[in-house]
Amino acid sequence: MARSKAFSPEDVLESALQLFWTKGYEQTSMQDLVDAMGINRGSLYDTFGDKRQLYRKAMERYLDWYTLRDLRLAMKSADYSPAEQLKLLFDRLAEEGEGVNKRRGCLLTNTITELGHRDPEITEQVAAGIKRVEDTLAELIQKGQERGEFTSTEDARALAQFLTNTIQGMRVLTRVYGDRERLAEISRVALSTLTPRAGIH
């Protein structure tokens, strides 16, 4: 009978994700991973493969758990307010200027900066992750337009692309400045682009 693992793959993968997110790919050694995950090298390789494979699995976890997860969950409700949910999202982004992610930024942006020029598969994974963000925002905006909460003078997809770009830029600035007031002002301006003007929807 095969022995069951003495550790939770999800828990140790989360530990790897947090380490990669903090230190980056190149600066994280296999020994760092073994220490952070609390498993031996054999178990690491057997469960996750080599360092690159582990990084890609950590990226998938990041996309599932840290990229608009609260927004996606809220959107499953039939009566959610797109405008309220979008404001909550940007409020959280502004708060990152003072939180644990103050100097970590966005793992997608960090990854494309560090590895994108030499790893096409990881670049493709990052692109798919950003597209997932854009698709979620486009769906949110379209519903907001149908309810009259957002302007309909612009295409929902174009607005989603603009907001996706704004979000990525804010996460870069979080690493540079860590300034909540600066991020809050960017949030205010970004959200104002979706506000219906008097007599114009």
Over residues 59-83, mean pLDDT = 92
Distance CA 13, CA 9 (A): 6
Q: Residues of 167-178 as b/e, b for ≥16 C-beta within 10 angstroms?
A: bbebbebbbeeb
CATH superfamily of 9-61: Homeodomain-like (1.10.10.60)
- pLDDT above 70 for 3: no
**18 vs 78, 102, 192, CA distance in Å?**
34, 14, 34
Please name the CATH architecture into which domain 66-192 falls: Orthogonal Bundle (1.10)
Confidence of residue 167 (pLDDT cuts 50, 70, 90): very high
16-40 pLDDT tens trace: 999 999 999 999 999 999 999 999 9
Query: In angstroms, rounded to a whole number, what is the distance separating the alpha carbons of residues 94 and 127?
Result: 24
- Report whether 132 contacts 63 (CB < 8 A): yes
Whole-model pTM? 0.88
| For the chain, domain boundaries | 9-61, 66-192
- pLDDT reported for residue 96: 78
Averaged confidence pLDDT in the chain: 90
User: Are 175 and 109 in contact, with CB atoms under 8 Å apart?
Assistant: no
